[in-house]
A and B are shown apart, each in its own frame.
Chain A
């Protein structure tokens, strides 16, 4: 029972590079989310999706894009990486109308 799987676990990017953080869940959850966590801070919502083909911005969407072509997958795209995007990124999913979020193990991203 894998739950929520994120790849990669670690990545170093140079300023201006792009990358995609992968997230997949095997619990057939409708809702999926991307959060970022900066040192000493709580998690902030970047984007979320309530189902395949439907995405919406969270609190801190600038510099990111998402897509949701299937129920299982919710990739996060960083275009033109900036040092301010250095953070730990968590993908999460919830069942329909349940706030209990299941989190992936996180991706630690450093932009230099």
Chain B
């Protein structure tokens, strides 16, 4: 059975802190790993990673994949209250672009 595990489950930080969210996976037929941000409703896409060691960046967010050790990290620098959300890691497996999701990390950024 495909498995995606995220840690920590929840995190409270002060505005301006840097956070690292973890995602490890055990799946058959890995194709890609994706990060989503979920605020109140629908998840929104952040990154897709397919190759080891290549960092993807978007503003204060960055992510990297290690296909040998089967994990990915999502870094957020200089956090803001608007970063408060659930961050979901998902792994694409097999055909039809099906995603297996982790349980998510709930991040709360306080003033």
Q: Which residues of A contact B (CB under 8 A)?
A: 31, 33, 35, 40-45, 48, 50, 56, 58-59, 90, 94, 97-106
Contact = CB atoms under 8 A, between A and B. Distances in A.
Contacts, number: 61
- Kindly list the 6 A-B residue pairs having the minimum CB-CB distance in the complex, ordered from nearest: A42-B101, A103-B42, A99-B92, A99-B97, A43-B101, A42-B103
Contacts of A50: 95-96
A48 B92 CA distance: 14
19 contacts: A31-B96, A31-B97, A42-B90, A42-B101, A43-B101, A45-B100, A50-B96, A56-B96, A90-B42, A94-B97, A97-B97, A98-B97, A99-B99, A100-B34, A100-B48, A101-B43, A101-B45, A105-B41, A106-B41
A42 B104 contact: yes
Nearest to A40: B103
A99 B42 contact: no
Interface residues of B, number: 24
Contacts of A56: 96
Contacts of A58: 98
Nearest to B97: A99
For B31, B34, B103, the residue with the greatest tally of chain A CB atoms inside 10 Å of its CB is B103
Given A101-B45, A103-B43, A106-B42, A41 B97 contact: no
